[in-house]
Structures are given as C-alpha cells and as structure tokens.
Structure 1
Amino acid sequence: MLSTRLSRSTSTRPSTTSIASARTRNGADVSEASRGATVSVSKQQRQDELARLIYERGSIRTDELIELFDVSPMTLYRDLATLESKRLVRRSRGEVAAVTNSTSETPISFRLVQDVSAKAKIAKVAAEILADYSTIFLDDSTTALAIVDLLPDVQQKTYITNSLAVSRALSQSVQGKLISLGGTYNPQLDAFFGPTATKEITNLNPSAVVVGAASVQNFAVYHPYAEVGSFKSLAMSQAEFSVLVVAAPKFKRTSLHKMAEISDFDCVITDDGIDEETLAELRGETHVIVAR
C-alpha cells in the first residue's frame, strides 16, 4: 500500500477519453491516429483506434470504416478478423459491432469511450456529494475516473484507490493524501486486486465509497469477474456511505457474478437515459439520483 501526499501539478490532466476528435466525415468524429492518409500509424495502433471507434459507436458499417481510416477493404478485413479473434467485435452483413458479454470485462481503453456523456453527468453529481466526505475510496470504474477532475481541491481530504488510472489522475489533479492499494495488477482493468488489495482495504475505513458495475438486473449489481465483484463489495462494507455510479445502458446489459443488492447502496446515481419504470422500481429499493 502506497501512501503519498498529493500536490497540484502544473501538467495537463489526463483525458478520460481515448479518442481525440480530429475531423468529421459523414457526421462521424475520427481520431488523429485514424487519419491514415495523413498520419503514419502501426498496424496495432490502427486496430486499437478501430476498436475504440466501434465501441464508441456501438456498431458501424464496414464501408464507412474503409473511408474513415483510408484503408483497403482487404486491410480492414484483416484488422477486423484480428479484433474478432480477440472477441472484441462481431461482423455481420457489412456491419461490425462491439461485443459485450457477461463473462469478461471490456478493456479500460474501450470503456473510456463508452457512455461518455452519461458518465460526465453522473460524475458531476457524484463529485458534489463527495464534497461532504473526508476519506473517499474510488474504484477502477471509468465513471470513478471521470469524477477525479471534478473533486474539490482540498488538502485535508484522503483518497484511496486500487486503480492505477485513478491514482495517476489524482496525483495530477488534487491536493490531499493518496493511498494506492497494491496487489496483483490486472492490465485489462488497469487496477490491482487479489489477497494484498483485499487485506489493505480491510484495514481502512473510508467515509465514502464509489463503485461502478457492469450491469444491474433484478435489483442486483453484477460484474464479469467474481474477484473484482467481491473486492468492490468488501470496499462497500468498510464505508459509512456507499455510492453506485451506473450509466442507464447498464440496466439493459447482463453480467455473470453478483456483487451486491441495489438496496446495499446508500445512493445510486444514474443518468437521464433510464426509463421511468426502471427508475420507479429502483426508488423502491434505495435513494436514486438522476443526473441530467
């Protein structure tokens, strides 16, 4: 467990989105690295940008990708075949779609471009609530990462996280004390888990905990990985106040391992994409805030 004193950095804060919009063609923003005609990129970089754009859109036609990335149909075919072999995308009838499933978490680089607007709304509300708490745990979710830039710059606060991405952002964004939990590094989640992380969070007592989830179904919260779900649940149990930050689309997604009941959270923050029926049901279980 690494504890350090935070101070405001003069460097630019890291962006919570992976694609920097460079131009618009047919109404679609494309990253600088995607402009094959003007920027030389490696095959791996091109495939990464391709996957990020597909995850940002959800689905897109292959002929549009050929135009946007300025590559031949054969090059695109090979790139998509590689992504499909990694179970990141699925091709069907001239279209390619992002793959989301219940047994594996999407890599953080792709989650950063999913539900961006919803996460920004949720992060703003969460940051306002957290202003009243002195010791705050932020998990490895990209919504928690979005909160960092909005946190009050107060020296007396202590931040705890097992996320390397959140640690980096906190070190450049706010003053105060940072406690980084150690453990076994998961590169897909850019965070630490395992026995060491579990032991360290057990020895801490944050006043507030913020966690995200992969899906919410039947008043229960789920994550693809049992170990991650158990760690988040343990972090919740250590805190005086627990907050679930979850974008509305996750109420329609599925995942494998149950980590908590909705009623276990003191507060749920979602966005205005949630339907009225689901919202009414949730409010029968716990306090719900709709970020607009």
Structure 2
Amino acid sequence: MYAAERQQWLLNRAREAGRVDVAATADELDVTPETIRRDLGALERQGLLRRVHGGAIPADLLGFEPGISTRDAVATQEKDRIAKAALDELEGASTVLLDAGTTTARLAALLPADRELTVVTNALPIASVLAARPNVTLLLLGGRVRGTTMATVDEWALDVLGDLTADVAFLGTNGFSVERGLTTPDRAEAAAKKAMLAAARRTVVLADSAKHGADQFVRFGRIDQVDALITDTGLAAADAAALSAAGPRVVRA
C-alpha cells in the first residue's frame, strides 16, 4: 500500500470509527507504529486529523484546522534548510513570485539585501516581512483573504497574475508525487498556485519530505512543469530519483 493510499485509509477509518489507534492500526496494516505516526502527522498538517495520545481523531470533531503558527512549528529545521537552499535559485532573477506558505515565508526573510528585487506575493505574512525592505519593490496581490493561510485568492489575484511574467516563482504545496503532481486541499488556493506557475519562466517548489505522497483534493500542477524541487533529506534517495526522472531537478537540503 502506497503512503497516499494508507493515509486515505487512515482518514476513512478515523471518520468511520471516530478515532485511529496507532498500535492497533500498525498491526492491522502490518507496518511499524512509526509509519502510522508519520502518516498521522502528515494528515494533521493538512488539517484533516488531530493527534491525540496513542492515535488521532478527525479534525472536524474539534472544529480544528491548523493555522499558520501551528504549521510553522512543524519541521522547522527542515524548512530552514530548504529556504537556504532556495537562495541559489535566485541567480539571474530580478522579478520573483512568492506563494503563501511557511517555507516560502522563511525564504522571504532570507532574501538578499544587496540587490534590487521586485517581489509579487499573495501572502500577507510575507508582505509584512518585505514591506520595509528598501531594496524590494513589493507588489501584494488583492483578493479574498483565506484566514487559514493568510493568502489572497479568487479573481482579483488571478486577473493580475494572468498578465505577469516573472523570472522565477517559489511555490509551496501540501502534497507532491510523481503520480498526482502538486496538490492542495483548497480549490481557490490551487487556482492561485496554478496561475503563479503559468506566470513564471522558472518554477521552484519548496516542500518538506512529509508532503511526499500526501496527495490532496486539488491538483494545480504536474511534476514535469517544475524546474526544481527543494525538499529535505527525509525524502528517500529512490523517491528523489523517481521525481527527478519525471522532470524537476531535486535538491535534498
């Protein structure tokens, strides 16, 4: 059973039974408890489950959806390394698209202060980081603000993106795989990400390894549309090779 299939099974079981127990589920699926904990962690980061002692329960039982602060506290070291590695992808770029996300926000904080950049973003947290930077011409996309991600979406954002051509776009994603490409739970955010992908000469995806195989509801891009995928060393070498064979240059930071 692939990770995505197992996670869907876990989500279905949690919704049917009201709870998933790590030990019992590991025995039932003939995998290690650590595998189940990793799957539950991936589902929690997607806002679908809430971890509790010994297992997890459906997020909708608690009215729970992780906010930015919750997601920002997950895989912090990996995200820091990914953001630092992403700086190499700025070479030759003067116009940059920055997608909403906790890893792209880390990249925003690391942007060099010794060169002129035009940055377009749909993320309020990223805009707040860059607004006072004298070397950055900041363009904030308009639209409806999603409280969960603090990203602007819908027509006001899409109309502007449709008229842009940026040197490079740095995109976040909730899931990535060779089979399903780049995916995210929300249709409006998927549309904004798809528009960013189309508006850039080069596309770089920043995603920690826990998102590999965690396919989501809406696909916004194919793997072969990505120029570089920057993740962490938690991604197995064989998986990195399969992704690279499908199109992008894969960096494990």
Q: TM-score, with normalisation over the residues of structure 1? A: 0.64
Whether 1:262 aligns to 2:228 is no
Question: Structure 1, residues 6-56: CA drift from partner, whole Å, max 9, x if none?
Answer: xxxxxxxxxxxxxxxxxxxxxxxxxxxxxxxxxxxxxxxxxxxxxxxxxxx
User: 1:162, 1:290 → 2: CA distance?
Assistant: 25
| Corresponding residue for residue 156 of structure 1 | 116
Whether contact under 8 Å (1:149, 1:173) holds in the other structure is no
Q: Which runs of no fewer than 5 residues in structure 1 stay unpaired?
A: 1-56, 60-85
What is the identity percentage for the equivalent residue pairs of Structure 1 and Structure 2? Answer: 24
| Corresponding residue for residue 126 of structure 1 | 86
- How is 1:144-183 mapped onto 2 (pairs within 5 angstroms)? 144-172=104-132, 175-183=135-143
- How is 1:123-272 mapped onto 2 (pairs within 5 angstroms)? 123-172=83-132, 175-217=135-177, 218-272=179-233
SS at match of 1:241: strand
Q: Which amino acid aligns with 1:278?
A: D
Question: Structure 1, residues 182-228: CA drift from partner, whole Å, max 9, x if none?
Answer: 11111111111111011111122211101010011325110001121
Whether contact under 8 Å (2:146, 2:153) holds in the other structure is yes
Q: Which runs of no fewer than 5 residues in structure 2 stay unpaired?
A: 1-39
User: 1:253, 1:174 → 2: CA distance?
Assistant: 39
**One of 235, 241, 250 as aligned partner of 1:289:** 250
Whether contact under 8 Å (1:100, 1:106) holds in the other structure is no
| CA spacing shift, 1:224–1:105, aligned 2, 3 Å | farther
SS at match of 1:207: strand
| Corresponding residue for residue 89 of structure 1 | 50
| Corresponding residue for residue 10 of structure 1 | none
Q: Which amino acid aligns with 1:290?
A: V
Higher RCO by CA contacts (8 Å cutoff, separation 6 or greater): 1
| CA spacing shift, 1:157–1:220, aligned 2, 3 Å | same
SS at match of 1:146: helix
SS at match of 2:70: helix
Higher helix share: 2
CA apart distance, 1:100:
7.8
User: 1:98, 1:253 → 2: CA distance?
Assistant: 18
User: 1:117, 1:183 → 2: CA distance?
Assistant: 32
Whether contact under 8 Å (1:202, 1:234) holds in the other structure is yes
Whether contact under 8 Å (1:268, 1:286) holds in the other structure is no
| CA spacing shift, 1:277–1:291, aligned 2, 3 Å | closer
| CA spacing shift, 1:106–1:256, aligned 2, 3 Å | farther
SS at match of 1:149: helix
CA apart distance, 1:127:
1.4
| Corresponding residue for residue 47 of structure 1 | none
| Corresponding residue for residue 52 of structure 1 | none
| Corresponding residue for residue 81 of structure 1 | none
| CA spacing shift, 1:169–1:265, aligned 2, 3 Å | same
| CA spacing shift, 1:201–1:186, aligned 2, 3 Å | same
User: 1:280, 1:163 → 2: CA distance?
Assistant: 32
**One of 250, 273, 277 as aligned partner of 2:234:** 273
User: 2:170, 2:152 → 1: CA distance?
Assistant: 16
Whether contact under 8 Å (2:180, 2:219) holds in the other structure is no
Q: TM-score, with normalisation over the residues of structure 2? A: 0.74
Q: Which amino acid aligns with 2:201?
A: E
- How is 1:16-35 mapped onto 2 (pairs within 5 angstroms)? none
